[in-house]
Each structure stands twice: as structure tokens, then as C-alpha cells.
Chain A
Amino acid sequence: MDFTSVTFTGISRNFGRRRALASVSFAVEAGQLAALLGANGSGKSTLLSIAATLLAPTSGDVRYGTHTAQTGGATLRQRIGLLGHDLYLYSELTAEENLRFFAGLYGLDHVDRRVANALRAAALDDRAHDPVSSFSRGMRQRLALERALLHEPRLLLLDEPFTGLDDPSSVALRGRLTRVREAGTIVIVTTHELEAIDTIVDAAYVLSRGRCEPLAGGTGSLRDRYRRQVQA
């Protein structure tokens, strides 16, 4: 199963009486990187959870090509990669053990080659047998990204991937995302580090009080445009 676009149509999500998302609609095509911008608590992570099929919307639907979370099921999940703010790694296991575990869970073939490539891409070849608990935030972040990319997903969802990274790690992550996008992956990223994605973002959406609007064009950096729109 494959798809070349993800379309959000009228997505709303309530938590009890609180409305986290209100009729969110937009689409992202293969080879595009879309950014979800907004203040803390604006609904960005909720929207990512819905896109990852981990959370059902109260109303509206997400279409992955012609499929939905209900019709796609496990086959659809095979095509989705998610990197959360909490990285989804077992700190007691080594880098290699983490990758091998998830490779097994996704039923991947050529596990040795995939794991070796992932360790190389994360620049962790020499730390493959060290427990993740001994890694710095940047190293964990790189490993977590490769974990999310291990099964070559069509849709990659990243929640605040630049948080806590130093400059070299941030540059490396930006380079990796550029290559992933160029390979035809649909990338949706939430971030407050607007400078980090300014040069690679294809479309940006601003979430405010659960509502979503495209970021208006115009002059200036991504942050300038975001500030103008938020203050308007």
C-alpha cells in the first residue's frame, strides 16, 4: 500500500469539554515538508497523533491517498514514521538493540543492512553497543530519527525534532530531512525553532486555539511572517 498525499478534512478533536482542534483542513503532497506552527497547547501534537492513527478525530477524516486509518489498518501504519518529543527509545537497550527490536516489530527484511545504514546515518557506528541511557540528547535524537525512518515510511511525522539540539546536530538533522523529503517522503513537522526549517519548508500552517490557517506569504523570514500573522 502506498499513497502520495495526506489530506486533513474538517478535523476536530475534543477532550471532554475542551476543543483541541476545530475543523482543521489542509493537504501535503509527497516530497513536501510542511510545518505546523503555533504556541504550546495549540493542538500541534494532537494533530500529529491523529495523523499517526494513534488518536481518532471527534469529527472529520484524514485520507492517506484513498485510504483512511480504518481502511488502511496495520498496512497503513507500516507506511508511517513518527518521532515524538519523547523519542520512543528504550534507554536500557543499546542503539543496535533498539533498531533491531523495531525492525523486528515492523517485519523488515535485510535487518543487518538496515541497522548498519541507520547507525551510519545517525553517526553512531562506534556507539552501536552502548546503552541509549549513556547518549547525549543530540545522539538520542539522531538515533530516534533513524528509528522512525528504518521502515522507509511514506509519511514522516516529527514533533519538535530540533528541541535541545546544538548547532551541528541541528544542521545534520536539517540535512537529513532535506534528503528524506527529496526521496519523496511526506514530512510534517511541528517546531518552535523556525530558523532551523526556514530554508527547507514547502508549506507552513499556523494553529491557534485549535484552528488552522496557512501561513501567509510575503517578505521576511519564516519567523517574521509567523509573528506578523499571529499579531494580526
Chain B
Amino acid sequence: MTFLGTAALVARKDLLVESRSREVVYTSLLFAISCMLVFAFGLVKEGRVVTDAAAAILWITIAFAGTLALGRIFDRERQNETLRALLLAPASRAAIYVGKLVGVLALLLLVEAIVVPLVMLMFDAALLAHPGFMLSILIAGSVGYAAVGTLFAAMLAQSRSRGALLPVLLYPMTVPVIIGGVRGTAALLQPEADLVIARAWLTMLVAFDAVFITLCLWTFEPAMTE
């Protein structure tokens, strides 16, 4: 089977499993909404939102909900040791990584499709004033976050303390992505959107994605061989 065929097969399987259980989407969404409500109570005073709060809240919510989703997706592979079955298959392990990444990314984007309108509503943020830019920043940020997260979640799948270790390893590594997402989004939320700055952060996010994906593809196979 080709590299892309294997990746598509793994991603399709993950989405089929999720479509049956809906566990990851429901828990991540519930967590994201709770997270935003807490921020709304803390950062909206007399109907006014702290400057740039919406951008930070959006990306913090994405990061937290993403961690929850990553942990659960790989817990599922661990429960019946199916991760071992994937690794035993003669398919390219890099293709398996890409398949898992696509599955995680699809679920993350689905959560974002609900979270973005909620942030717009709760924090009076015109996130879709420049929909092309906003969509690009969201996708580029999510790809970088999911790329590193998929690698770490897979590496930690067999670890007893994976729940504690995943955020400890993931957040410091993805700080550049989160900063890029926040600053790029904040640039779009200015009274007059600063498209030059937004474009600069978007370019940086794409560069991070390229570096992270290359490193993850390179390290996935040795990292998964015990």
C-alpha cells in the first residue's frame, strides 16, 4: 500500500471509530465551552473585554481541548493494544503517524468550528472579519500543535504517567505555535486589522509546521521502537 493510502486508511479508521463513540468530540467540546465560560466570567467586565483577550482565550482553549483529545485518541489505541498491531504491520510507520495526525487534526478542527463562533459571541470578537486569514491561521496553528502532540501522545501511550507527562512535554514545545496563533489572531482583531503582522505570523506558523512535521516524521519510527 502507498504512503498516502496507509495514512488515509488510518485516518479513516480513527474518524469511523470516533463517529461511533463521539467520545473525543463531546468531551473536548464540553471542556472547551467550560474553559471559555470561566474566561468570560474573569475577563469580561461591564460588557467590555480586556484587549487581545479573545485571541488568547481562543488559543488556550484550543490547546487545552487538543491535549484532552490527543490523550483520549491514544488511550483508545492502548486499551486493546491496537497501537502494537499498527506498529507490527508492514506499512510505513511515518504513514501511520501521518494518518493519526490527520485524524487528530480533523477532530481538532471540528472542535474549533464550534469554539470560534462561541468566542465571537462571548467576547464580541470579529474573528471572521478576514475569514481567509483567520482560517489559515487556525489551520496552520492546529497543524503544528497536532503534529507535535501526535508524536508525544504516541510515545507516551504505554507510559503509566502519560496523563501528567503529555502537557508537561507538549506545552513548552508548542509555545511558538500558540504565540504565533495568538499574535496572528490579535492582529486581525485590531480596530483596523493589521494584515501585514497577521501575514508575518501566518508565515511563521507555516514555517513551524514544516519544521515540526519534518522532525516528527523523522523521529516517529525510532521513538516507537522500544
Contacts and interface: CB of A to CB of B under 8 A. Distances in A.
Nearest to B85: A88
Contacts of B92: 74
Interface stretch (B14-22, B115-123, B147-155, B187-195): B14-22
A101 B1 CA distance: 12
A101 B89 CA distance: 11
Nearest to B92: A74
B81 A78 contact: no
Given A56-B226, A84-B84, A90 B90 contact: no
Contacts of B16: 92-93, 97
A16 interface: no
Interface residues of A, number: 30
A101 B9 contact: yes
Contacts of B81: 84, 86-88
A101 B13 contact: yes
Interface stretch (A47-55, A112-120, A165-173, A199-207): A47-55
Interface string A97-115: 1000110111100000000
B82 interface: yes
A89 interface: yes
Contact of A88 (B20, B84, B225): B84
B226 to A, nearest CB: 5
Nearest to B23: A92
Contacts of B86: 105
Contacts of A106: 1, 89-91
A80 B226 contact: no
A82 interface: yes
Interface in B63-112: 79-82, 84-92
A89 B80 contact: yes
A88 B10 CA distance: 15
A131 interface: yes
A77 interface: yes
Contact of A53 (B1, B5, B13, B88): B88
B6 interface: yes
Interface in A20-72: 49, 52-56
A87 B85 CA distance: 9
A75 interface: yes
A14 interface: no
Contact of A87 (B1, B21, B80): B80
A90 B91 contact: no
B90 A89 contact: no
Given A56-B225, A105-B1, A89 B88 contact: no
Nearest to B93: A74
Nearest to B77: A90
Of the candidates A53, A54, A97, the one having the most CB atoms from chain B within 10 angstroms of its own CB is: A54
B13 A77 contact: no
Contact of A54 (B10, B79, B80, B84): B84
B140 to A, nearest CB: 30
Interface in A143-157: 147
A52 B226 CA distance: 12
Contacts of A77: 88-90
Report which residue of B1, B13, B90, B225 has the largest number of chain A beta carbons within 10 angstroms of its beta carbon.
B90
B1 A107 contact: yes
A91 interface: yes
A55 B4 CA distance: 27
A84 B80 CA distance: 9
B226 A90 contact: no
B216 to A, nearest CB: 19
Contact of B9 (A49, A54, A104): A104
Nearest to B8: A104
14 contacts: A49-B226, A53-B88, A80-B88, A88-B80, A88-B82, A89-B80, A91-B80, A92-B21, A101-B13, A102-B85, A105-B9, A105-B89, A105-B91, A106-B90
